[in-house]
Structure formats: C-alpha cells, structure tokens
Chains A and B, each alone.
Chain A
Amino acid sequence: MTMLPPINKRHTGWRLFLMTVWGRAYPRVVGIQRERSWIVFDILLPMLAVSAYVFVYRAIKAPEDYVGFVIVGGAMTAFWMNVMWSMASQLYWEKEQGNLALYIIAPGPMMACLLGMAVGGLFATTFRAAAILVLGSLLFNVSYAVVNLPMLLLIFFVAMTALYGMGMMTSSLFLLLSREAWHIANLAQEPIYLLSGFYFPIKNFPFWIAAAGSFIPLTLGLDAMRQLAFASGPILGFISVPLELGILTGLAVVFLLASRALLNYMEKLAVREGRLTESRA
C-alpha cells in the first residue's frame, strides 16, 4: 500500500495565480494578528509624524486646505511604503532567508508571489491610511468639498493599480541586486516624497519637474484626489482630472505589462549571474 496517493489535480493558470497570491498573503495576514507592535509603529507614530507637517503649515499661516493636503498625502504614504518595503524590498529578505529560491522553483508565478506580499500587507496599510485620514481630519477640522465621489474612487483605484505595477517592476531589481537595491529604495524615499508632492501641490514645481514626477503614479493620483476633494483643489491642480485619469490608466497598463516582462528578464539575468540564492552581502 502506498504511503501517499498521487495528487489528483493540480491547479494551473489563473487558479494557480490566485492560490499563490493567497498563499503568500497568508503569513502577512496572520502575522499582523500574532505580532501587534505594528499598531504603534505603523499607525500611531506615523500619525504623529504627519501631524508635524500640519503644524508646520499652521506655523507659517498656510490656508487651511493645505492641512487637508498633508492629511491626504500622509495617508497615501502608507501605500507607498507597502509597495516599496512590503513588496519590492521584501524579496531581498526572502533571498537572505532562502525562501526566494523555493518560490522561484515553484510553479506559482513570481508576480503572484509579489502581489500576495502586497495584498497581505494591505490590511495594515489600509488601516494606517484610514486612521491618518479619519483621525487627522477630525483632529485638525479638515473641510472636504468632494464634487464627484465616483471619480475620486476611480482615480484612487487606477492610481493604486499603476502604483503596484510600478512596485512589481522595482521588485525585479531586487532579484538581481542585494543590499544595493535595499539602499536604493531607501535613497529614493525622500526624493519621491518631494517629487510626488506628498505634502504640497506639485503645481508649484516648474512644469518639467512636475511632469517627470508624474511617472510615479501617486503624483497624479494625489493631485487629482486633491482637486476632487478640496475647495481650492482645482486652482492648485497641475493638470485637469480627466487628463490625469487618462495618464494614470496608461501608466497602469504600461507598468503591469512592463513588470511582467522585466520580472522574467531579471529572473533570467539573476539565474545567469547566480544571484538568486543567499548572498549575505
């Protein structure tokens, strides 16, 4: 009698993709319940940091809408952090721990694995963003003037899609590089916050700087959301909301397609160079 019967059916295609996403998301979903220090370090303390920027505007007597800009920008940093650190640079840790090799040799696609990492962190991320948005709005008496809620939600959704596509592209770098990629992601943090206008409207930049910053989906996403959510938003907007939506949609498509191609290419390159297994560099 055999110890184990053969496996009846293995799922492939989209089913395998979704199973891989859920499989990789699971450690995150379970992890945040079993180790709760993230509530302090990932929600409460960042809330205080965002508040500091609010008080900077209050100190220099900025119009009250700017307080709202900071709150919305602060909420969106949660998603940026999720993409860069929960997804992209997580591969660096996986490589060091030896799990990356096991993911590579499994039939589940790497894109699904990355998405799983991001999805798994999404609960904590969304909680952080919501906490900053709600608490910040209440504490600082932010006044919203939402003119088109469906459009606002659409912008948010498309911007997130483009952002996560960009995150997958960046992740491919981590397949090839080790500690350099981690440092490069670290290096990029403040410049991204600056160029994307997390705390101020990018209209204040020269056109070409703002345009260059628009390659980061959060730049136009934030700009469009501010135009739709605040009374002074349209005056301080960079370009029109429909145009921003169009560009974001284009970015989403390009990033998702490019991420698939780049992940494949980088994986092949990493296999050639022997960079997929632990380096401890």
Chain B
Amino acid sequence: MIKNLQTYSRSFFTAAWLGWKIESNWTDPFLFAVYSIIKPLAGAFILVVMYGVITNGNFGTPIFAYLYIGNAFYRYVGDVMTGVAWAVIDDREHYRTLKYMYVAPIHIPFYLLGRGIARILTSSFAVLIIMLVGVNFLHLTFDIAKVDWPLFLVTLVIGILMLAMLGLILAGITLLIAQHDFNVGDVVAGALFLFSGAVFPLEVLPAWLRPIGFIIPVSYWLELIRRSLVGNIAQAFPTFTGLSNLELLGILAGLAVVFGVISVYVFRACDHAARERGLIDLTTNY
C-alpha cells in the first residue's frame, strides 16, 4: 500500500514538474503572460459582445452575471480536460516518450493527471483575470464581502478533481484515436458547453435535452460556483432552486465519485485495447 502511494506520488509530482516545464518554457515570460491573459479574455469577450449587441450594453442584469461567471469558470473544463488528455498526444506523437513512460515503473493515470496540473494553474490565472475585468470594467454584480469562501473553495477543489477524472476518460479514448487537427479536450468541452448551464439556464434547452444537463456534474459545479460567489443572482434562476447548497454539494461529490470510477474503468479498458493493438508507440499524424 505504502509502495503504491509512493509510486502514485512519484508519478504525479514528476509529471507535474514536467507539465509545467513544457507549458511555460516555450517563450519568454512576457509573451507567456500575454498568452495567458489575452486568450481567455478574448474568449470571454465573444459572449460579452454577443450580449452587449442585443441588450445595448446593459451589463447590470442577473442574466449577464450568470453568463459571465459561468463562462469564466468554464475555462477550467476545457483546460483541465485538455491538460490531461493532450499529454497522450504530446508524448506519443511529438516527444515520442509515451512508450518509455509505459516501460517505467510509474502509474500512468497519475502521470497524466500530473501533466494536467500546469493547465490548472494557468487556468486559475485566466479565471482571475476574467473576473477582475468583469468587476472593474463591465460592472459585474459581485460583492467580495458576500462570497461564501468555504463553499467556493470546496466546490472548486471537488470540481477540479471531477474535471481531471473526465480528462482521464478522454485520455483513454485518445490512446485509441489518431491525432487530428483539433484539440480533443477543447472540442469535448465545447460540446459540454451546450448541456452544462454554463452560459444559459438549462430551461432554455428543449425539454428532451435537459436531462443530459442534469446527469453531468459540470452543471452542479457551475451552479455551486455561482451560489458561492453571487448567491442572490444565482437564486434568480429556477434550474436548481429546489436544492440547497449541501444537497448540490452532495450530488456533485457523488457524481464526481461515479465519474471517477467510470474513468478508472474506461481508462483501463482503453489502455488495454491500445496495448493490444500496438498503439502506444504509434505516430498517426497525417
């Protein structure tokens, strides 16, 4: 047991160091900072402009706060999932080291999770910038004194763990597919955007699509984030009004565990299939 824990931690922390080196080492710090600020802000501003065009810049409404905060924290979804899943492509196709990682006495899932850490850090920075811009320039209704910090921190941690598990599912699938032009994590995050209530309440969706939103943990996570940061505004939307914070937290934690278990099985199955088919050291780029 202790030996396993040592293996897991060695795999995780070495991968985290490596992930940070790769993420941060491609350019000078100034350009890296610009990259880390401009990209997420531009993404946020697409929705800001869409909203501003229709409402003539009326940013003081609850729906804007709903949309803006949901979109800001949704960055974690794409970034964490990409951070974990992209390591498979990077190591397999680019650095050609995946086979050596497999041969080494490390725990591959923990290795992949460690590789995702760097993205979590850059994502956190991006979310902070987006929130600061929203509060200072877009009159986002946000009172720091009213933030429920314990709820926020617990939600954030559970959410990141949950997203890492989703990333692991994606990493397993990535082991079996060729490298394509797109970033698999971003594409899946883009699809989940529709169902997670990130930028509009689930009631906007047709009735037959809403159940999908209620199954994915991201919906509960974003609702809790909103409640912890802008509780009064979150209450203006009916989607989860019947559920208390504790109930939501329980559902989120439960779904995180369920998806965690699913991720273990899916990754294991995909890993087995990849090794059976000789895909670990394959380069598939075309």
Taking Cβ atoms with an 8 Å cutoff, the residues of A that contact B are 27-28, 31, 35, 37-38, 41-42, 44-46, 48-49, 51-53, 55-63, 66, 81-82, 85-86, 90, 93, 96-97, 121, 179-180, 183, 186-187, 189-191, 193-194, 198-201, 204-205, 280-281
Contact = CB atoms under 8 A, between A and B. Distances in A.
Contacts of B51: 56, 60
Contact of B27 (A48, A51, A183): A183
A199 B204 contact: no
Nearest to B198: A52
Interface stretch (B98-106, B149-157, B173-181, B246-254): B173-181
Contact of A60 (B63, B95, B178): B63
Interface of B: 26-27, 31, 34-35, 38-40, 42-43, 45-47, 49-55, 63, 67, 93-95, 177-182, 184, 187-188, 190-191, 193-195, 198-201, 204-205, 283-286
Nearest to A51: B194
Contact of B182 (A27, A42, A96, A193): A42
Contact of B50 (A28, A180, A199): A199
A55 B191 contact: no
Contacts of A81: 181-182
Contacts of A180: 26-27, 31
6 A-B pairs with least C-beta separation: A49-B190, A59-B200, A85-B181, A190-B42, A48-B191, A37-B177
16 contacts: A28-B286, A42-B181, A42-B187, A45-B188, A48-B195, A52-B193, A55-B205, A58-B204, A60-B50, A85-B181, A97-B285, A193-B43, A194-B43, A198-B46, A199-B46, A204-B52
Nearest to B55: A60
Given A55-B205, A60-B51, A97-B285, A190 B178 contact: no
B46 A190 contact: yes
